[in-house]
Amino acid sequence: MTNFLSGLLRLKRGPWEMLATILIGLGVFMLMQPFALWLYTYSFIVTLVGTVMFIVVSHFKD
């Protein structure tokens, strides 16, 4: 966990890609879950942030 956080602070590609992947996964879950309409409402913005983040951080150094 500490490695993950320090990786984020040092702008390392691995942890940031992991974070973006989690956001995309969360967004897709929110889009398709049957529990709450408000989760569905905010799903697109979460997926969009995750996807844009993924494109940007894939240019970071390892």
Partner 1 sequence: MSKTPITRAAAATPVRVARKVRGLSDRAIAWIFVGPTIFLLLAINIFPLIWTIRLSFTNFKANRLNREPEWVGLRNYERILTDSDIWLNMQATAHFLFWTIFFQVLIGFTLAYLINKKFKGNDLWTTIIVLPMMLSPAVVGNFWKFLYQPQIGLFNYIVAFFTGKDPSSFEMLGSVDLAPWSIVIVDTWMWTPFVMLICLAGLRSIPDYIYEAAEVDRASKLRQFFTITIPMVLPFLMLAVLFRGIENFKMFDLVVQLTGGGPGSTTELTSINLKREAFEKWRTGYASAYAIILFVTVFGLASIYVKALNKVKER
**What is the smallest separation between the CB atom of 50 and partner 1, expressed in angstroms?**
6
Name which of 6 and 41 has its Cβ closer to partner 1: 41
Name which of 8 and 31 has its Cβ closer to partner 1: 31
Element (H, E) at 24: helix 13-32
- Which residues are near partner 1 by CB under 8 A? 17, 20-21, 24-25, 27-28, 31-34, 37, 40-44, 47-48, 50-51, 54-55
What distances in angstroms separate CA 20 from CA 1, 3, 36, 48, 54, one per listed residue? 16, 17, 23, 10, 5
